[in-house]
């Protein structure tokens, strides 16, 4: 399926851990349709999963009355994924995990999600909501780039 015009797909997820897999499956399906290489689809799936987990845990604070929006848009040789929540957004930049510090109990063993997102896609941007809510992370993966 060759894509010469914009393709937009939207999904809304409950703020419940595990439902990030719905976003992963959707992202994988769209990525396959627009011709992303299989290894890059795996990269995208993990990045999207981590973005959704952050949105569920930190953005929406596990409040099941709130949903997580996932918007996929394929255009101009790239697939863009926005994951939206009702939080204030991330103010810190991703930091590469220091395995030695983690192994010595000097750093939380968790906290690798943002790093993985940034490492696995071509662009990762955290955008705070203008009114202190409705923030999103924007992930971009280019269709012509190898992993």
Partner 1 sequence: MQSETKSRIDKITTPTGHPLAVLRFEGDIASTSREAVLGLYQTLPKEETKTVLLDFTKVEYINSSGIAIVIQLLMEATNAGQKIAACGLSAHFTKVFTMVGITKYASLYASQEIALTAL
Comparing CB distances to partner 1, the nearer of 54 and 135 is: 54
Contacts of 141 (CB under 8 A, 6+ apart): 31, 36, 40, 43, 44, 47, 78, 79, 81, 121, 122
Compute the distance between CA of residue 58 and CA of residue 30 in angstroms, rounded to an integer. Answer: 26
Which of 61, 103, 123, 132 binds partner 1 (CB under 8 A)? It is 103
Q: Considering Cα of 28, then 44, then 41, then 18, what sign does the dihedral take?
A: negative
Q: Assess contact for 82 and 137: CB atoms under 8 A.
A: yes
Compute the distance between CA of residue 53 and CA of residue 122 in angstroms, rounded to an integer. Answer: 20
Using CB under 8 A, which of the segments 4-12, 63-71, 111-119, 131-139 binds partner 1? 111-119
Comparing CB distances to partner 1, the nearer of 35 and 94 is: 94
State the minimum distance, in angstroms, from the CB of residue 9 to partner 1: 20
Compute the distance between CA of residue 87 and CA of residue 80 in angstroms, rounded to an integer. Answer: 21
State the minimum distance, in angstroms, from the CB of residue 42 to partner 1: 4
Using CB under 8 A, which of the segments 18-26, 27-35, 69-77, 133-141 binds partner 1? 18-26
Q: Within positions 50 to 89, which residues make up the interface with partner 1, using CB under 8 A? A: 50, 53
Contact mark string toward partner 1, 124..143, x via CB under 8 A = --------------------
Confirm or reject binding of residue 100 to partner 1 (CB under 8 A).
yes
Confirm or reject binding of residue 144 to partner 1 (CB under 8 A).
no
3-state helix, strand, coil in the chain (%, to 5): 35, 25, 40
Residues of this chain that bind partner 1 (CB under 8 A): 16-22, 24, 39, 42-43, 46, 49-50, 53, 97-100, 102-103, 105, 108-113, 115-116, 119-120, 147
């Amino acid at each position: 399926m060759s894509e010469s015009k914009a393709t937009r797909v939207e999904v809304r997820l409950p703020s419940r851990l595990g439902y990030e897999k719905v976003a992963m499956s959707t992202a994988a399906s769209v990525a396959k349709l627009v011709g992303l290489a299989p290894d890059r689809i795996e990269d995208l799936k993990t990045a999207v999963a981590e973005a959704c987990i952050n949105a569920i845990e930190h953005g929406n604070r596990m409040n099941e009355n709130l949903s997580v929006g996932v918007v996929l848009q394929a255009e101009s040789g790239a697939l863009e994924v926005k994951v939206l929540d009702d939080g204030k957004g991330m103010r810190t930049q991703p930091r590469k995990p220091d395995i030695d510090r983690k192994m010595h109990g000097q750093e939380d063993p968790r906290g690798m999600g943002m790093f993985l997102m940034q490492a696995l896609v071509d662009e990762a941007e955290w955008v705070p909501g203008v009114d202190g809510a409705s923030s999103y992370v924007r992930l971009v993966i280019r269709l012509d780039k190898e992993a």
